[in-house]
Structure 1
Amino acid sequence: MGHDIVRLHHVGHIVDDLAQALLLYERLGFVVPPPSCPAMSLREGAVPEPFGAANTHADFPRSFLELATCVEDGDTDRLPAGTRLVPLQAPAELMPRLVQRISETTANLAACLNRFEGLHILMFSSPDIDAAAARLTAAGVRHGGVNTVRRAAPPGAATPVETVRYLELDGDGPGAAQGSVAGGRVGVVADLDPDVQGARHLDHPNGAVGLVEAVLCVADRELATVQQRYETYLGRPSRPEGPARILDLDGAALTLVPDSGLATLLPGERPPALPALVGCTVAVRDLAHTHALLHRNGLPLREAPSGDIFVPADAALGTAVVFRQAAPPAAAA
């Protein structure tokens, strides 16, 4: 029987200064379009002003890296040039709920940013999100149910509207936060539409072709508990690899590493808090080419025991960005 969660959908890098983050990602060799941000009129007849959160993506065929920041009402000065304001549109009776949902999401992001600047969002991809929701409920995992949002599709897509269906996991225990768990905002998203995703910019100077790993660092004493929790979330067992526990997905993995083992996995790295998403890995077509590009752009580089190279968190706004040679395509039968 197939799994209802199959790969990594995206990770979210929450930053204080989105313009600075865009410059960083350009140096890292990613193409990242100008961000978008919700906008609404603060008083009747006024021009819509930004509020909530602004975000953008470095896109791959089946996954992406998200950059996001919180935006105070009317705070246009901190938004990068070219930011696209998206006026909220909804029937009058639904508008208060829409504003509330955006405000709740923004509050979650602000709480994450108050912990540290870095990775705080981990989303898995599902070919059948309703089945995933039912399985999680049956396993006793609290979540907010499947939500549906629609947004304009990129130019060139066959459909003008992209439909996104997702659920967010809730924290454990009484009084736990909704829409977030220890370590960040974790959830499941329906697989990306190949047509819509294919209309986005997928050709990056660094040769990146996909998100293949997220690394979650936990206190040593919590490793077994967190391992069991994510095995339940993903509906599959983990395997040991050195100090880490690996949950294998289709062409990707979630790596759980105890605090005492992080430096073995990513030399020189230390978690900003526990638990914390401390790094993500992208596969690239030619690792030597990527290495040369990063070196030309003046970024510090370290090598992992695996042979991967990475830009350390202290040079990448709080998260280690790891690059791995992509596996060769499977030979045709």
Structure 2
Amino acid sequence: MADRPRRRRLRRSLLAALVTVAVAVPVSGAARPAAVPAPVPTALGPLRDASQAALHERYAASRQDILAAGRAALEHGDRKRAASLRQMASPERQFLAFDGRDGGRSVEVVGDLSAARRIAVLVPGAGVGLDAYGRLRRGAQALQRELGEGGAVVVWLGYRTPATLSPASVTDGRAAEAAPALRMLVDRLSAARPGARISLLCHSYGSVICARAASGTPADAIVLYGSPGTGVVDVAALRTGARVWAGRGGGDWISGVPNVRVRLPFGATVGFGTDPVADRFGAEVFDAGDGGHSDYLLPGSRSLTNLARIASGRAPVEAGGASEVDHTPVGASRG
């Protein structure tokens, strides 16, 4: 019993060290992306129709917004942003929405949303943006291939992500701002594709956003992976009817982040509390393999296989062998 206060002090000291590093370590270019100008995007209105014709119209309008933002970036002298946007404006790309202002926001579809029976919404964490988007998209493509026919992936870059080493990455301010937009997207996907199974796949800081958006969501599953915590003590506090899963790769550095939540003297709260893979959190834990923090969507990985299985309504493969089949029909809600 005497060791408990000592362990608590150690964890608080470790978190304080993490915050100090986040504040003190400069992140090259962290402030630049938000300063790149972009025009006001087309007012598309909410997604209500997921027919091929309606989606084609949205995709075409977003492509024009991306091209306009690319021209603005080039005029501003940011060749890296302009090159990234040229790739995003390729004719085969499908964006439900795009806004190049304030660092950039985008919602991209990989697969055929008009016929999707299984929709996986990818919610990225810190350090992802328009200038560092390629890896996220490659992961989305790998996931869509695993989902197969009838599966679509929606890549939601709907907020200005914090830099990996920054004060914003250890507080929930950005998550609080982002959660309403994520909740709205899931609501509209559910209305536009009634009967489709929707899963939120939430990586790292993205799991904090998903926790904020969980209450009342029509999503069938919420998957937290590479998570530093969610800001709540357990699954019950999420107030969701979705089935909640959690996983962490064996080589993920996030396991070394203290799972505490500390209120600082000036009112801010730092840290995200209970580890989602801990028994006391109450999530269903799946095998995420041995990969690192950025490896969950790598082709051929155990983590990718299991993320796709969960998004498809099937039980994940367990360590050392196959699991029993989950007989829940694909597309059926668990809520």
Higher relative contact order (CA 8 A, sep 6+): 1
| Fold match (TM-score > 0.5) | no
Task: Give the TM-score taking structure 2 as reference length.
Answer: 0.31
Task: Give the TM-score taking structure 1 as reference length.
Answer: 0.31
Higher share of residues assigned helix: 2
Higher share of residues assigned strand: 1
